[in-house]
Amino acid sequence: MSTPSPLVSRDFRCLVAGISVSGLGSAMTPVALAFAVLHLGGSATQLGLVVAAFSLAEVVTILYGGVLGDRLPRQLLMQGSSAATCVSQGICAAVLVTDHGSIAFLTAIGVLNGCLGALAQPASNAMTRFTVTEAQLPRAVVVRSLANQTSYAVGFALAGIIVATAGPGWAIAVDAVTYGVAAAFFALIRAEAPTTASGERLLTDLADGAREVLRHTWLWLLIGQALLYHLCFGGAQGVLGPIVVGDSWGEEAWGWAMAALMAGFVLGGLVALRWRPAHLLRWGVVLLSLTAAFPLAMALADQLWLVLAGAVVHGVGLQLFSVSWDLAIQENVAEDKLSRVYAFDLVGSFVCRPLGLALTGPVAGVIGTDRWLVIVAAVMGVSSIAALAAPSVRRLTRQPAPELALT
């Protein structure tokens, strides 16, 4: 007897719908923000600092978001964060459309949005487990990721068109609307996710979450690998990408490159629907090494299609790893600590991203943009393969599917 699709669950449909519609708009914002800064006369270093401010705000806030996600109703956090971001993005769009924007303003609104998103992200990641049955969970992880990445692919493609034809402000206005719609979907979720009615202080709750992370060698090891990965790649994508691709083939080309990246995610998700390796992380880290293709193509390619192909390969590899990674966490982490573990995962992955974003412009200016992109590709590829040296990474297996009762 086959397992019913996770989409039969109304709560899961609302969760996926909210995440997807907000992702559609959110995909436009990085493209719009990059060109908003450049249109204001900003340099690569200034663009890096603006994006770094957003990332730093996320890192500072996200651990607190993890604690709240285990203490409060998760759907309430998601709803409130989306509604507040709708307002802040609406203000940002109005300022840009009326030509009153400045780099300082974009930095400030980025900090605010980084904090709002960080408060809800751990709760959002943890919520999947509580909207479906245990048997539906592996497929639910793939479906959620596939829907989200599809919306991002469409959003990136639209971003290049909207920015080129109407300006960055209108792209951010679309993002504001999508967050409002997402808040409405999240308000419809009725799933009862267990929380910890803790009277403990913040640091005590965080220490409990840290102990859960350290209990799993594969978990803290790959969080450390992600730290190095994002230290290098964050600047390659967020700072150098719009400049290198935009200067060579036009602003629309960077939007298409991001759309190709998301198309790779979608393709990887479709593969994950069918391919279910017994070892969750063994093949995952091998495929993760394919992400080196994108920065390598940006450095060496002389035709746009090669850059787009590199972006697709990057997306496929990262998506197949991400599905296995998410399922490994969902299946092996205690329910009442799930939001905090996701918070440590996000912080560990992105804590060095602001530094990488801030330093990418100056470093590339000293050693050369193409040379730095090649170095980034080497770090991404080698660090991924090196994770195979850990037995816990090679041996972690997915949990057997529970047998369905016959009636």
- Structural domain boundaries in the chain: 6-191+200-395
> What is the structure's pLDDT at 199?
56
Q: Is the pLDDT of residue 357 over 80?
A: no
Higher-pLDDT residue of 141, 193: 141
**How is domain 6-191+200-395 classified at the architecture level of CATH?**
Up-down Bundle (1.20)
CA dist., res. 237 & res. 246, Å (int): 12
| Cβ 21 vs Cβ 148: under 8 Å | no
Distance of CA 380 to the CA centre of its chain: 17
Residues 6+ apart with CB under 8 A from 5: 136, 139, 143
CA dist., res. 128 & res. 323, Å (int): 13
Q: Is the pLDDT of residue 2 over 80?
A: no
Give per-residue pLDDT as tens, 10-50: 999 999 999 998 888 777 777 787 778 877 877 767 777 77
List Cα–Cα distances, 357 to 113, 118, 241, 364, in angstroms: 17, 18, 12, 11
Find, among 305, 383, 340, the residue nearest to 66 by Cα.
Answer: 340
| Cβ 182 vs Cβ 82: under 8 Å | yes
CA dist., res. 141 & res. 389, Å (int): 27
- Tell whether the torsion through CA atoms of 241, 243, 245 and 246 is positive or negative: positive
Name beta bridge partners: 279. 397
Find, among 347, 340, 344, the residue nearest to 198 by Cα.
Answer: 340
Find, among 33, 21, 343, the residue nearest to 172 by Cα.
Answer: 33
Give per-residue pLDDT as tens, 72-104: 788 888 899 899 989 998 998 899 888 887 888
Local confidence band at 404 (pLDDT 50, 70, 90 cut-offs): very low
Tokens of 319: 């998506």
CA dist., res. 74 & res. 76, Å (int): 5
CA dist., res. 93 & res. 369, Å (int): 31
Local confidence band at 252 (pLDDT 50, 70, 90 cut-offs): confident
Tokens of 380: 């991404």
Residues 6+ apart with CB under 8 A from 393: 218, 221, 222, 281, 282, 285, 387
> What is the structure's pLDDT at 309?
95
| Cβ 381 vs Cβ 310: under 8 Å | no
> What is the structure's pLDDT at 406?
40
Q: Is the pLDDT of residue 170 over 80?
A: yes
Residues 6+ apart with CB under 8 A from 266: 146, 149, 150, 153, 315, 319
